[in-house]
Amino acid sequence: MTWDVSKIRCDFPILSRTINGQPLVYLDNGASSQKPRVVIDAIETAYSQEYANVHRGLHFLSNLATDKYEAVRGTVAKFLGVADENEIILNSGTTEGINMVAYGWAMNVMQPGDEIILSIMEHHANIVPWHFLRERYGIVLKWVNVDSSGNLDPQAMLDAITPKTRLIAVTHLSNVLGTKVDVKSICRGAELKGVPVLIDGSQGAVHMPVDIGDIGCDFYAITGHKLCGPSGSGATYVKKERLVEMRPFVGGGDMIREVHKDSVIYNDPPHLFEAGTPGIVQTIGLGVALDYMMSLGMEKIAAYESELVEYASDKLNALNWLNVQGNATGKGAIFSFTIDGPGHAHDISTILDKKGIAVRAGQHCAGPLMDQLGINASCRASFSFYNTKQEVDALVDGLRLANDLLG
């Protein structure tokens, strides 16, 4: 298909509204993407015509809801390039997925003194669960820095491996710098040394095609609300070899076969790690969202966003009072920045909001990276496949106004 951004924008009802009397320019996609009509309609239909609890019900609505819910497992597997859908665990998003790996796998296989390697640009969701292991079990966290442009050298991650290394946990794409990480090289090198790799795909899966069969990781976590789906939806890929090493970390319905006073017979994966009533409608909505994105084509999404990145980079780098954090080669559609002078990121964001431009301001859940950058906050403009070059121009005009008012 030819990339017709005007037509695609018509799929998203919210993009036609105004904010403060100005057309909405939504550049906060790194926090959460907007939802196409097809997802909104699917959620409405699920609640108004098809809702019932899933699994174990024998009536029509329960069977219908179960079929639609379980079908999403295969949709996620297709989206991520996974051959066996039973390696897909459905959950509420990346935060839950990484915590599942920490509690269900790492706590089961690691000993005090074992090491986990992290990059400095990880999101807190890929840091705090490992701090739990550090605090409670004596696990050692080792950090690998990025260079001055925000590039992460895969070899630096591999060079940090020691005989005590039990896991590398790394983002696919930085939510602050936009850096795309060469996760395939990391996975190949780590496999040769017998070290599993977890990839935080919250941003990566949004902006480019993902083929886990080619990447070769052990864990890959995604979040639905960044993928045009509902909040409270997500999934985590777990390689078969890791699944057999895991123990359940949440107990309840669906993850058991039988429960007696003195024993429990557990279900098989993936349901072993899906305790309780799931986010049924949220997950159904996620499946519709992924189908929508695949219908557009992830390769074509990546190609269009690459054009936006090039255009935005040229425009933003021309502002000599604007400091962009991260200019890595082939970066994704995320730009974090500060301006010279006393203006705080919150001030910039507030001024942009008056112009109808939505950006994020703060630390972006990346405290260690902020420490390395020597800043306490930044603004972040994060683009999606439905954004336009005209919206880049609107951002630049808004930043000029902010600089005039704050500089």
Q: How confident is residue 57, by pLDDT bands cut at 50, 70 and 90?
A: confident
pLDDT at residue number 117: 98
Is residue 379 annotated as part of the catalytic site, yes or no? no
What ranges in 58-102 are assigned the alpha helix state H?
A: 60-80, 94-100
Q: Please give the pLDDT value at position 2.
A: 80
Cβ atoms of 319 and 399 closer than 8 Å: yes
- The burial of 257, by beta-carbon neighbours within 10 Å (0-12 exposed, 13-18 middle, 19 or more buried), is given as exposed
Tokens 């080669």 found at: 329
Task: State residue 1's pLDDT score.
Answer: 54
pLDDT tens digits for range 284-324: 999 999 999 999 999 999 999 999 999 999 999 999 999 99
Give the tens place of pLDDT for each residue, 120-136. 999 999 999 999 999 99
- Could you write out the DSSP letters of every residue in 330-342? T--SEEEEEESSS
Catalytic residue among 217, 228, 365, 379: 365
Q: Quick one: pLDDT at residue 407?
A: 75
Report how far apart, in Å, the C-alpha atoms of 101 and of each of 4, 192, 253 are: 40, 22, 20
Nearest by Cα to 312 from 342, 332, 298, 294: 332
The whole-model pTM stands at 0.97
Question: Residue 263: how many CA atoms within 13 Å on its side-chain side?
Answer: 3
* Domains of the chain, earliest start first: 5-30+297-406 (3.90.1150.10), 42-295 (3.40.640.10)
pLDDT for 344-357, tens place per residue? 999 999 999 999 99
Q: Could you tell me which residues are beta bridge partners of residue 137?
A: none
